[in-house]
């Protein structure tokens, strides 16, 4: 079901015009905060079937988030970093690239992981402290989380150099936040990718806060404008508008895949939760600010749009039941997670057997067994 028939090049024309605009531009929007299509949304058309699918992804991602936070409060997880409020940025972007495109996340991209069919247990494994990472990157095409700020952008750029050498038809997508954009690693990655014209799509979730530092304190130039200084094409999109994120990311990815060089998408969104389960955001931001952003809630906005175009109530009822069942699965999978024997660390240190490792492993096992006895 499609709301309107889009002119084939209307959105491309708008986005191409923005590439040459050196000024800061307002974020591109297809659906406004009230759930109504914008003038551009009406012009280019909105795929209602896709909107329904992404709405389901966002609802399930939010449910994982709330369940995981509750599990952390119950002592089942050591730490949790919520993606509450950023579901549209994540779902809209990951659905805009191919499943064969490699992704390098930071640590908050739980919705991205779910869209790549990574099980909740594997997402929570690291936060329960039972393993260093939870999934096979070769299978999901999603690299493990990077908790060291911004390092994943360099990993992505190096990987993209390999893609170029292989002559593969692949885009490398990497996520980072506005705080990481101030890190040297991210700036090095942007410069290296631009200088070598590598197929990297940098996706910044500008959630307005680098832990307790607001965006206007940590930078003077908007990120989508700063990209031009590196020779990278910059785009600015409303990160709480899933359909706009999808359209802009898909367009940017197509340009990167065509070989025109790397691109950066700045998605303007908001972290509704604290930086982590150990953070209290009430110490550095106001209730009024949070209420203003709650009014822009991406899940509520997409639901309003779907109801407005006549999607049947069955979609929402079925999704609510599906979310409840999913929540039970999340709790069950989390409590079933157990760590490997710590002795396995010695087996994984070197690719080949090593005599020093064998000696240290034997000493560890002897001490462990004495302690158990």
Residues belonging to the active site:
271, 275, 284
CA 173 to chain centre: 10
Are 268 and 236 spatial neighbours (Cβ–Cβ below 8 Å)? yes
Question: Alpha-carbon distance 224 to 25, whole Å?
Answer: 8
Q: Where are the alpha helices (DSSP H) in the chain?
A: 10-19, 39-44, 48-73, 87-94, 110-115, 120-128, 137-140, 151-166, 184-195, 215-218, 223-230, 242-257, 287-294, 298-308, 313-335, 344-347, 355-372
Residues 6+ apart with CB under 8 A from 81: 107, 108, 275, 276, 277
Question: Alpha-carbon distance 373 to 186, whole Å?
Answer: 50
Residues facing 18 on adjacent strands: none
Comparing C-alpha atoms, which of 232, 144, 146 is closest to residue 188? 232
Q: Identify the residue whose tokens are 């006549």.
A: 310
> Is residue 145 packed enough to be buried (19+ CB in 10 Å), middle (13-18) or exposed (0-12)?
buried
Tokens of 245: 């994120």
37: DSSP letter:
B
Q: Please say whether the dihedral angle defined by the alpha carbons of residues 86, 201, 251 and 230, taken in this order, is positive or negative.
A: positive
| Phi and psi torsions of 370, nearest 5° | -65, -40
23: DSSP letter:
S
Report helix, strand or coil for 267. Answer: strand
């Amino acid at each position: 079901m499609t709301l309107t028939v889009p002119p084939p090049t209307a959105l491309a024309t708008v986005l191409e015009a923005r590439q040459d605009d050196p000024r800061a531009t307002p974020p591109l929007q297809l659906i406004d905060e009230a759930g109504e299509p914008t003038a551009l949304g009406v012009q280019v058309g909105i795929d209602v079937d896709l909107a329904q699918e992404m709405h389901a992804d966002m609802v399930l991602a939010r449910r994982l988030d709330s369940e995981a936070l509750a599990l952390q409060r119950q002592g089942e997880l050591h730490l949790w970093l919520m993606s509450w409020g950023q579901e549209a940025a994540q779902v809209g972007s990951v659905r805009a690239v191919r499943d064969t495109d490699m992704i390098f996340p930071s640590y908050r991209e739980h919705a991205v992981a779910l869209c790549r069919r990574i099980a909740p247990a594997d997402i929570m494994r690291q936060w329960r402290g039972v393993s260093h990472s939870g999934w096979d990157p070769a299978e999901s095409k999603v690299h493990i989380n990077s908790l060291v700020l911004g390092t994943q952008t360099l990993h992505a750029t190096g990987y993209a150099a390999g893609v170029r050498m292989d002559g593969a038809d692949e885009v490398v997508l990497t996520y980072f936040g506005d705080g990481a954009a101030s890190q040297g690693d991210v700036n090095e990655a942007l410069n290296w990718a631009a200088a070598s014209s590598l197929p990297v799509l940098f996706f910044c979730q500008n959630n307005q806060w680098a832990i307790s530092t607001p965006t206007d304190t940590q930078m003077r130039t908007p990120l989508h404008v700063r990209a031009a200084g590196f020779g990278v094409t910059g785009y600015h999109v409303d990160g709480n508008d899933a359909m706009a994120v999808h359209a802009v990311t898909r367009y940017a990815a197509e340009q990167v895949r065509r070989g025109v060089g790397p691109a950066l998408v700045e998605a303007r969104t908001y972290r509704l939760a604290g930086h982590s389960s150990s953070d209290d955001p009430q110490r550095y931001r106001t209730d009024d600010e949070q209420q203003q952003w709650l009014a822009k809630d991406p899940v509520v906005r997409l639901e309003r749009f779907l109801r407005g175009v006549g999607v049947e109530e069955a979609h929402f009822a079925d999704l609510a039941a599906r979310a409840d069942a999913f929540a039970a699965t999340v709790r069950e999978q989390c409590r079933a997670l157990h760590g490997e024997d710590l002795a396995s660390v010695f087996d994984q240190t070197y690719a080949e057997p090593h005599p020093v490792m064998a000696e240290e492993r034997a000493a560890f096992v002897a001490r462990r067994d004495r302690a158990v006895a």
